[in-house]
């Protein structure tokens, strides 16, 4: 069996994070400038089912049987073997690397899972339908943050812009005209599980207030979908701003995110918001393409540890 590799992109949520967990729609796009990669090489002399795992970025160098049963890598591998009906895989070494910052709202967990699942299938000379890949990655997402909507595994698996509603069939999103975004990283790691969990506690204490915030976000998402599909991209700026306001009201922004959002707007962005779980991680700004570098520099001056400029098509 030859060595095999697979990769998966990062993602940003353009509109609708958090409210999507409560049944509202959301829009997300892949970010191909960053990716997770899984490389599998056969271990010829080793006994069958011996699986070595190396993930230098997290200091992991272990055999699969040393990982706990609920380790995300173990669950991704077990899901892939089950979907492929493989009871005793041949011995192999799995090496995982990623340029997607962890706990930053860019879908790193989902991308690592998808890369692993596809690399296993490729190594075994098989293929898995996107739906099967995404479903396995969703099981891993549950370990990462308890009650995931499923949007991360969907956008990372399909690698195209999506309009997503939890537990509904995937709706693709036609991008009527390309538009440019700048991503700014606060450099603050913020596990999605915590922001999602805290918001759930707040929602349980005051469902009326939070349900109306989620519904307001749902309205924004519907308008954004219409603007993206019709190519009226200028309309997206105020919608990003409105969505950020709702996220602030939900308590999932942070001073650092608000500083970057304000810096983006002050330097010419058409609108900006936090993206993903919040409390840290990344924000996005909509820009006219010629202004992208100016906005990226302004974000860096305001404290962004990294910026990515990209175009959604
Ligand atoms: C995380 O990328 C997006 C959240 O809406 C959580 C989820 O959808 O599962 C915060």
Q: Left, alpha or beta for 133 (phi > 0: left; psi -120 to 50: alpha)?
A: alpha
Residue listed under structure tokens 């390309």: 178
- pLDDT, residue 63, reads 95
Atom of ligand 1 nearest to the CA of 148: 9
Q: Taking each helix axis from N to C terminus, what angle separates 292-301 and 255-266, rounded to the nearest 10 degrees?
A: 140
- The residue whose CB lies within 8 Å of the most ligand 1 atoms, and thus the one to mutate among 9, 10, 12, 13, is 13
pLDDT in tens, 225-277: 999 999 999 999 999 999 999 999 999 999 999 999 999 999 999 999 999 99
Strand partners, 252: none
Q: What are 36's two structure tokens?
A: 């997770």
* DSSP code string of 148-213: --SHHHHHHHH-S-EEE-TTS--EE---SS-EEEEEEE------HHHHHHHHHHHHHH-HHHHHHH
CA torsion, points 225, 186, 251, 243, in degrees to nearest 10?
Answer: -20
Atom of ligand 1 nearest to the CA of 16: 5
Query: Which of 242, 243, 237, 304 lies closest to 269 in space, CA to CA?
Result: 237
pLDDT band at 2 (very low <50, low <70, confident <90, very high): confident
Residue 77 to residues 72, 89, 110, 159, 173, Cα–Cα distance (Å)? 9, 10, 13, 21, 31
CB 109 within 8 A of CB 72: yes
For the chain, the farthest-separated pair of C-alpha atoms sits apart, in whole angstroms, at 62
User: How many whole angstroms from 102 Cα to the centroid of ligand 1?
Assistant: 14
- The set of protein residues with a Cβ atom below 6 angstroms from ligand 1 is 13, 17-18, 20-21, 105, 148-149, 151-152, 192, 196, 276-277
pLDDT in tens, 272-290: 999 999 999 999 999 999 9
Q: What is the mean pLDDT of the chain?
A: 96
Q: Is 152 a catalytic residue?
A: yes
Q: Among 71, 152, 185, 241, which one carries the catalytic annotation? A: 152
- pLDDT, residue 169, reads 87
- The residue whose CB lies within 8 Å of the most ligand 1 atoms, and thus the one to mutate among 9, 11, 15, 18, is 18
Q: What are 234's two structure tokens?
A: 């200028």
| Verdict on whether the full-model pTM lies above 0.85 | yes
User: How many whole angstroms from 57 Cα to the centroid of ligand 1?
Assistant: 24
User: How many whole angstroms from 155 Cα to the centroid of ligand 1?
Assistant: 12
CB 155 within 8 A of CB 20: no
- pLDDT, residue 48, reads 64
19-46 burial code (b ≥16 CB/10 A, e <16): bbbbebbbbbbbbeebbbbbbbbeeeee
CB 274 within 8 A of CB 281: yes
Atom of ligand 1 nearest to the CA of 252: 10
User: How many whole angstroms from 144 Cα to the centroid of ligand 1?
Assistant: 11
Atom of ligand 1 nearest to the CA of 107: 2
- The residue whose CB lies within 8 Å of the most ligand 1 atoms, and thus the one to mutate among 19, 21, 166, is 21
DSSP-derived pairing of the beta strands 92-98 and 51-55:
parallel
Residue 49 has pLDDT above 90, yes or no: no
Compute the distance between CA of residue 11 and CA of residue 108 in angstroms, rounded to an integer.
8
pLDDT in tens, 52-110: 999 998 899 999 999 999 999 999 999 999 999 999 999 999 999 999 998 889 999 99
Query: Which of 191, 7, 4, 182 lies closest to 98 in space, CA to CA?
Result: 7
Residue whose CA is at the smallest distance from ligand 1 atom 1: 276
């Amino acid at each position: 069996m030859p060595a095999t590799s697979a990769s998966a992109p990062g993602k940003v949520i353009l509109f609708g994070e958090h409210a999507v967990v409560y049944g509202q729609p959301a829009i997300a796009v892949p970010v191909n400038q960053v990716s997770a990669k899984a490389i599998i090489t056969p271990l010829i002399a080793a006994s069958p089912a011996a699986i070595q795992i190396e993930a230098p970025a997290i200091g992991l160098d272990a055999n699969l049987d040393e990982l706990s049963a609920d380790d995300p890598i173990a669950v991704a591998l077990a899901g892939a073997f089950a979907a492929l009906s493989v009871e005793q895989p041949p011995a192999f070494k799995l090496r995982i690397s990623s340029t997607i910052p962890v706990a930053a709202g860019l879908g790193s967990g989902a991308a690592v899972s998808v890369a692993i699942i596809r690399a296993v299938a490729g190594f075994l000379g098989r293929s898995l339908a996107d739906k099967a890949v995404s479903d396995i990655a969703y099981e891993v997402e549950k370990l990462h943050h308890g009650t995931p909507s499923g949007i991360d595994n969907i956008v990372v698996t399909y690698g195209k812009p999506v309009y997503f509603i939890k537990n509904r069939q995937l709706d693709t999103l036609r991008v009527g005209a390309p538009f440019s975004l700048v991503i700014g990283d606060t450099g603050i790691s913020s596990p999605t599980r915590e922001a999602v969990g805290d918001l759930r506690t707040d929602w349980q204490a005051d469902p009326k207030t939070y349900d109306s915030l989620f519904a307001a976000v749902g309205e924004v998402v519907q308008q954004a979908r219409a603007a993206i599909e019709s190519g009226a991209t200028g309309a997206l700026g105020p919608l990003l701003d409105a969505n950020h306001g709702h996220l602030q009201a939900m308590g999932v922004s942070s001073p650092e995110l608000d500083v970057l959002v304000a810096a983006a707007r002050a330097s010419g962005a058409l609108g900006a918001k936090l993206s993903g779980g919040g409390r840290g991680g990344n924000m996005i700004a909509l820009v006219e393409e010629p202004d992208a570098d100016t906005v990226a520099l302004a974000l860096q001056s305001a404290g962004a540890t990294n910026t990515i400029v990209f175009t959604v098509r």
